Amino acid sequence: MTTNGLKFGVAIAATVLAGSVALPAVTASADSKTVTVGIVGTKDAGLWKTVAKTAKKEYGITLKTKVFSDYNQPNKAVADGSLDLNAFQHYYFLDNWNHSNGNSVKAIGKTIITPIRLYSEKHKSPKDFQKGDSIAVPNDATNEARALILLQSAGLITLKDVALPTVKDIATNKLNLQIKEVDAAQTPTALKSEAGAVINTNYAQQAKIKLSSAIYVEPVNKKSAEWINVIAASKKHANKKIYKEVVKAYQTKATKAYLKSEWGQAELPAWDITLK
């Protein structure tokens, strides 16, 4: 959400796009072999076309995508039955949405994890930061927490043991680093004026910042579990065979090949990784 707004830092818009990547959305209720998946934005359209080929060939499923422009609507649509599945969020976002919406949507399969990164135009390593240096981080709750945890893992600060840390939860800051909270979309701009910036992958790519230029990458370990993206269904239909087959159609070598070809190390397959 990724991940990327709470998921991966994408700014939340107010409306839903009335359209789809391929054909108009038709849910499984109209055709038992047709499944529609809600996605946010069109970045993953090519990926889902690859999955659709597998779904058709292996399971006889016609897989379609419906595009939303914000993170507010896809879970609501799945919960009320107007949409079969969605694939736009990580576990953390889904858990928080469920907490406020009657626990009505359930993750049925893992997709990807998108590590966030620390960039600097002034330093080549986290060890190079000096006393009083400033680091920009996204200011929305989820991404700020991820950014601070990243800075902790890089050895720059330590945090109190809380689920979703903010700058107020910094326990030690030996270099007296100035943590500047900015809109996630503005972190690439902040990179030019600050000593460093934690930037979500989607915004780094939009700003044409090479991911390989990052001086530190979010570790993928046990603490990363909540940032894994998922395919989700309504809780009452989570065990549908056809939905499980869509998950299988996603979790393939073909999907891995597409992710590697299109995104390199930006989006990592998460369904068969071991988190240590």
- Give the three-class secondary structure for 108: strand
The rounded distance, in Å, linking the Cα atoms of 57 and 19 is 25
Mean pLDDT of 129-135: 98
* Ordered strands of the 196-199 beta sheet: 178-182, 134-138, 196-199, 117-119, 216-217
- Which pair of structure tokens corresponds to residue 132? 């009083």
| 63's tokens | 């897989």
3-state helix, strand, coil in the chain (%, to 5): 35, 20, 45
The SS3 assignment for 33 reads coil
Question: How large is the average pLDDT for residues 243-248?
Answer: 98
pLDDT at 32: 64
pLDDT band for 163, please (50, 70, 90 cuts).
confident
Q: What is the DSSP string of 80-100?
A: TTS-SEEEEEEHHHHHHHHHH
Q: What is the mean pLDDT of residues 161-179?
A: 95
CB distance 149 to 267 below 8 Å = no
Q: Quote the pLDDT of residue 65.
A: 97
Q: How confident is the model at residue 171 (pLDDT cuts 50, 70, 90)?
A: very high
% of the chain at pLDDT higher than 70 = 88
- For the chain, give the number of residues: 276
Task: Using the predicted structure, report yes or no on whether residue 29 has a pLDDT greater than 50.
Answer: no
Over 70: is that where the pLDDT of 19 sits?
A: no
Distance CA 237, CA 150 (A): 36
Can you tell me whether residue 196 is helix, strand or coil? Answer: strand
User: What stretches of the chain show up as alpha helix (H) in DSSP?
Assistant: 45-59, 73-79, 91-100, 141-153, 187-190, 201-206, 241-250, 253-263
**Rounded to a whole number, what is the distance in angstroms from the first to the last CA of the chain?**
22
Pair of tokens at residue 155? 């050895």
Quote the pLDDT of residue 21: 43
pTM: 0.79
Average pLDDT of the chain is 89
- Separation CA 248–CA 257 (nearest Å): 15
pLDDT at 202: 84
Question: What's the rounded Cα separation, in Å, for the pair 141 and 256?
Answer: 30
What's the distance, CA 164 to chain centroid?
Answer: 16
Backbone angles phi, psi at 204, to 5 degrees: -65, -45
| Model pLDDT, residue 1 | 53
| Contact status, residue 233 vs residue 27, Cβ threshold 8 Å | no
pLDDT digits (tens, 9 = 90+) for 182-225: 999 999 999 999 999 999 988 998 899 999 999 999 999 888 89
